[in-house]
Amino acid sequence: MYEDALKRLDSIVKKAQTAAKMTFPKEAIDILRYPRRVHSVNFSVRTSKGLQVVNAYRVQHNDALGPTKGGLRFHPSVDLEEVKALAFWMTFKNALLGLPFGGAKGGIAIDAKSYTVQDIELISREFMRQMHPYLGPRRDIPAPDMYTNAQIMGYMADEYYKITGEILPAVITGKPLGIGGSEGRSYSTALGGYHVLKEACSRLSLPGRRVVIQGFGNAGYHMARLLQEDGYTIIAVADSKGAVCHEKGIDVASLHAHKTEHGSVLGFSDASEIRLDDLLKIKTDVLILAALQDAITVRNVADVDARLIVELANGPITFAADEVLHQKGTIVLPDLLANAGGVTVSYFEWVQNLSGEVWDEQVVLTKLKARMLHVLEHLWDAYVDKYQLDFRTSAYLKALTTLATAQKERGWY
């Protein structure tokens, strides 16, 4: 994954020179090719399954813009290369959104579904005991990601307090509301993507309202809910176990209730089951990628039949597949922008924690919409229309400009 991310960076730099006559100092790009700090730990925890040795990682990719910021995921496939790539993308995402953060990411290599709630608490607290010297409100601030949630962030924030003797809510974002969390954080990733999608459809005059969603976790569910409430028709949904389809539309609330009870969208009575591999073949106006990275590769990109793709997940389209989609004329709203609602509201939570303020939900949501649309409009006017560039290239160029300037001003090159 990290090599693929670097290939994309090199391609973006070349496009900047040829299409926009923009050049970046080689030193600035070289710095961004390497993470500044990599933490890898192995720790043992006595769980209901017996003694477990757990592998965990935290990568702080670049802190030119401020303390590093990024999510923490639980997944059995997590490895160092994946976390490096995710941290790399966070550096660019935070720069694009104008947030005073560098990029970081963390991962714990476990199958969270196979552990009890008590086991997850033990693992979460031990992770904080292992990593606390490298974390802090002015150093590196984790947040929820795949298979982590507000309660897990609460365990970690509490453990940090037990270790240091200081109650510092800003050490972690995405916490429960009662201990310093922010209104709107739980669905902010989807809401940010929804605002970007709506504005893009309006400016591009895309009339179609048929939607396919890959991934029905927190982000995928909330995106489906928001779109259905706005009159879009959700014709197919997939999770990690299977997919369901109904040409006339799926009721999102009913599907969510079914998954909550049964653990999967499979078996939902008001839709037909289809193969996971067939989901991307469905002709649709909008495809939402809200599952894992590398969902679309050179192996299946030819099957994709969508006019517009929204990357609600991180890195769901490989570099090579992205080039094919561009040639096909498929519009891609990239992860750097489309899923940045989560880190944006995490920033709002951090600000509230540091200042001692508490914002109501409407204040948070208004600020989120304004920031997401401001960035999209800037990309459109300064890059997409001006140089006839795609959205991903435009997002990287804006972020690169910010990062190169910050690194220069710090005297790094």
pLDDT for residue 208? 87
pLDDT for residue 72? 98
Is 105 an annotated catalytic residue?
yes
pLDDT for residue 355? 97
pLDDT for residue 207? 84
The pLDDT tens digits for 315-359 are: 999 999 999 999 999 999 999 999 999 999 999 999 999 999 999
**Triad 105, 400, 219: Cα angle to 5°:** 40
Q: pLDDT 10s per residue in the chain (413 long)?
A: 999 999 999 999 999 999 989 999 999 999 999 999 999 999 999 999 999 999 999 999 999 999 999 999 999 999 999 999 999 999 999 999 999 999 999 999 999 999 999 999 999 999 999 999 999 999 999 999 999 999 999 999 999 999 999 999 999 999 999 999 999 999 999 999 999 999 999 999 988 899 999 999 999 999 999 999 999 999 999 999 999 999 999 999 999 999 999 999 999 999 999 999 999 999 999 999 999 899 999 999 999 999 999 999 999 999 999 999 999 999 999 999 999 999 999 999 999 999 999 999 999 999 999 999 999 999 999 999 999 999 999 999 999 999 999 999 999 99
Q: Which CATH architecture has domain 188-338?
A: 3-Layer(aba) Sandwich (3.40)
Radius of gyration, alpha carbons of the chain: 21
The pLDDT tens digits for 103-143 are: 999 999 999 999 999 999 999 999 999 999 999 999 999 99
Residues of each domain in the chain carrying CATH 3.40.50.720: 188-338
Rounded to an integer, what distance in angstroms lies between the CA atom of residue 195 and that of residue 180? 26
> Using an 8 Å Cβ cutoff, are 180 and 340 in contact?
no
Q: How far is CA 236 from the centre of its chain?
A: 22
List the catalytic residue out of 105, 175, 369, 398: 105
Residues of each domain in the chain carrying CATH 3.40.50.10860: 36-170
pLDDT for residue 292? 86
**In angstroms, what CA-CA distances link 70 with 20, 116, 140, 314?**
30, 25, 8, 12
pTM of the full structure: 0.95
Rounded to an integer, what distance in angstroms lies between the CA atom of residue 151 and that of residue 366? 26
Task: Return contacts of 113-121, CB within 8 angstroms, 24+ apart.
Answer: 113/147, 114/49, 115/47, 115/48, 115/49, 116/47, 116/48, 118/48, 119/45, 119/47, 119/48, 119/49, 120/74, 120/152, 121/152, 121/155
Alpha helices in 165-318 (DSSP H): 188-204, 218-229, 252-262
Instruction: Single out the residue of 47, 41, 80, 337 nearest to residue 200, CA to CA.
Output: 337
> Using an 8 Å Cβ cutoff, are 410 and 64 in contact?
yes
Pick the CATH number of 36-170 from 3.40.50.10860, 3.40.50.620, 1.20.80.10, 3.90.480.20: 3.40.50.10860
